């Protein structure tokens, strides 16, 4: 007997080309992924994967099973949707990708609120930068994603809300006393930035270069892929940084950080809800998207 979970694991490994990545997305251990694949291979009576150039790829038998399994899971989603229309007791899993910035404010609260509407479902959220969210969505592992940059053309997308990125420091920094600086003064201070692939960093870099700043000459002393960690470092009295207004407002109000205006600097970006272009949204993904759109004003605060 083949259960749905084994097929989902099989498709995740095939799409990602990795047992370890599949385990991260599916929130199960790598040994559990291996066991499920081996169990499926015993049922089929053939090897489904082989190694090729350091990557896991499907065998010829695996390719045949993959196409059938994809169709079967698509029909399963349709069945779940029809059942949901008949009764309220709906059980399934929403596979959601969230960009790092949005995972650090507002969206966690929205996930809880959505789950309260469907208390019998499971939600598995992958938090990563926008690029990796797109890759996971394209591979078929995620149902829907929220990213902080304009998506590529391979996805359907909806603008969710507009965000502003602020430059800020701690209250004892000389910039805090000035309140406003010229762009060139950034060369003379220690900076903390998000990682190279971050959407926040990309927007800030483009805006600073528009103002004539040579980004590579800035004194970027620390790079880290967590906005909360950046905020904590600055609040402890180290350097300056750029983060979303939504993350900073509470700490600005309490006085533990100070926003500093850079003349001519205006870093605005949209957050997008994205989903596969050529595939039907699952019932839960569709409901979650409508829920997010209805709560946009709450996110804006």
The share of the chain scoring above pLDDT 90, in percent, equals 36
CATH 1.10.3720.10 fits 90-301, yes or no: no
Domain 1-87 matches domain 90-301 at the CATH topology level: no
pLDDT band at 297 (very low <50, low <70, confident <90, very high): low
Parallel/antiparallel/unpaired status of strands 155-169 and 258-259? antiparallel
The verdict on pTM exceeding 0.85 is: no
Top-confidence range, 24-33, 164-173, 242-251: 164-173
Domain boundaries, the chain: 1-87, 90-301
CATH of domain 1-87: 1.10.10.10
Q: What is the largest CA-CA distance in the chain?
A: 72
Is residue 25 pLDDT above 70, yes or no? no
For residues 8-15, give the mean pLDDT: 84
Neighbours of 60 (CB within 10 A): 10
Q: What is the pLDDT of residue 261?
A: 97
Asked if 140 and 276 count as a contact pair (C-beta separation under 8 A), the reply is: yes
- Per-residue HEC secondary structure of 100-150 comes to CCHHHCCHHHHHHHHHHHCCCCEEEEEEECHHHHHHHHHCCCCCEEEECCC
């Amino acid at each position: 007997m083949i259960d749905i979970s084994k097929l989902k694991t099989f498709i995740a490994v095939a799409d990602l080309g990795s047992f370890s990545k599949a385990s991260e997305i599916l929130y199960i251990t790598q040994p559990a992924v291996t066991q499920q694949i081996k169990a499926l291979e015993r049922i089929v009576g053939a090897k489904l994967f082989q190694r090729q150039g350091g990557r896991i790829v499907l065998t010829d038998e695996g390719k045949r099973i993959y196409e059938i399994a994809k169709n079967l899971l698509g029909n399963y989603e349709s069945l779940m949707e029809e059942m949901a229309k008949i009764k309220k007791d709906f059980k399934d899993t929403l596979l959601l990708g969230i960009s790092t910035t949005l995972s650090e404010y507002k969206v966690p609260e929205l996930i809880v609120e959505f789950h309260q509407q469907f208390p019998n479902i499971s939600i598995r959220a992958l938090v990563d930068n926008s690029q990796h969210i797109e890759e996971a969505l394209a591979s078929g592992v995620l149902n829907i994603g929220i990213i902080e940059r304009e998506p590529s053309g391979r996805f359907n997308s909806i603008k969710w809300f507009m965000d502003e990125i602020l430059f800020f420091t701690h209250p004892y920094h000389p910039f805090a006393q000035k309140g406003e600086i010229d762009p060139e003064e950034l060369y003379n201070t220690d900076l903390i930035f998000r990682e190279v692939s971050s959407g926040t960093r990309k927007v800030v870099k483009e805006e600073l270069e528009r103002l004539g700043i040579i980004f590579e000459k800035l004194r970027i002393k620390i790079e880290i892929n967590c906005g909360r960690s950046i905020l904590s470092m600055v609040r402890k009295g180290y350097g300056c940084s750029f983060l979303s207004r939504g993350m900073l407002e509470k700490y600005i109000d309490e006085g533990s950080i100070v926003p500093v205006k850079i003349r001519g600097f205006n870093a605005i970006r949209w957050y997008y809800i994205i989903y596969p272009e050529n595939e039907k949204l699952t019932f839960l993904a569709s409901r979650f998207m409508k829920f997010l759109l209805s709560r946009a004003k709450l996110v804006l605060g």
